[in-house]
Structure 1
Amino acid sequence: MKENTRMSIDWNTEVAKIRELRAARTKVGPGTTPAVVVVDFQRAFTEHENIGPSTAIALEHTNELLVAARAAGVPVIYLVMILDSLDDRMLAQRVRSSLTERCGRGNPWTEISSAVPAQPGDHIVEKTVASGFYKTRLEDLLHELGVDEVVMTGTSTSGCVRATVVDAAYRNFRISVVEECSDDFRTLSGEVSLWDMQDRFGDVVSKSWMLDRFAALQTERALDGAGVSL
């Protein structure tokens, strides 16, 4: 009988390896007109039975990022799963038990988490599947706002965040996934997805790097408003 090589894999070593690969991977680079996209940070996905401490931490990081984005005049877009019928879900979610069962229109579980509350001027886009682009107004909204870069936050990293990133890449948007602001209670899936997105679709960046960008953008726009040339 052949040895089961899968059982002999040291997954801690593998995770360390993909983190190194992710850090070394060539960056695509940011755009000039970003928007922050908040994926599914609603109660159904932030208060369920399987979440761990990482969720509250990611929400706290995200709220800090959103405050900075708004101060810099960067649009904030919330993606929320809202279903008029549970039959609107993809087949796998209808066959298996899924948190999407809590996403019927009017269900309190669909509310955006109070840890990252929407503010006047923010945009809310409803969706029915993992990708924020599938049969939604997201692409049209991004074009209306003149956006060339999506700054990705939300949950889950391996599910709805990744699906939205893939579709954004297909539409040639620049992509910046903020690591501290992305959450996945499936820890290994989240790590692998961060590497996959950095390798194939866009950039994974730190919150501190993005906050510095937003601060610089805020200063630049303030000087422009005052008629001062750099």
Structure 2
Amino acid sequence: MNERTALVTGANKGIGKHIARLLAAEGYTVYVGSRDAGRGQQAVEEISAGARLLILDVSDPDGIEKAAAQVDQLDVLVNNAGVALSLDPPAATDVEEFRRTYEINVFGTVAVTNAFLPALRRSPHPRIVNVSSGTASLTWSTNPNPQFSPGSGTAAAYRSSKAALNALTVFYAQTLVADGFKVNALAPGARATDLTPRAAAVGGDPVEAAQGALHLALLSDDGPTGGFFSWDGTLVPW
């Protein structure tokens, strides 16, 4: 095992797998969080050196606790697992979709973060990166921005869940700052992943987003906390 350790949730594919690969290249032992053992093991084999499979379904409280019991010390937690079930506006989205989306994107992040806090507290330089979305920015949602048409109101469940995640990022940062934590949110940009059909069709290289996450994971002790950053390092308005 390397001295430095990291956990990336939803790391069996997409941006998460690239984040895990980049952290492993930096010399970290990386726990590849995956709810599917087969896909997780395949990702581990592709990442190769430094990667370890950790069965982790962020919607399963018992499974989260079992996973946390396997990790004694953790330096970096990347909350990457997330879903976007539709691009519907709120009036066309049933409550169940909101529940399912928040279960993964919000409640799952809280459950994983809290379960792994004891391991993170054993690190001299604990870092938490929450993978959010530029479409969660209320400023960009009400003004012209580079990602989508203002006033569209689409993907209501997904975007509101990521806005909630942004708020939690601030609250974790504020309450953990005295313990040396750096907690930040990442806007990865539209990427060619299977998050949505549109993303798969027109998204950019997911490696760019992973590099943005890596930057936040490797922040020095004088780096920022409680911020919302784009993949290129620029600040995103709340």
Does TM, normalized by the shorter one, top 0.5? no
The structure showing larger relative contact order (alpha-carbon pairs under 8 Å, at least 6 residues apart) is 1
Which has the greater radius of gyration?
1
Query: TM-score, length-normalised on structure 1?
Result: 0.34
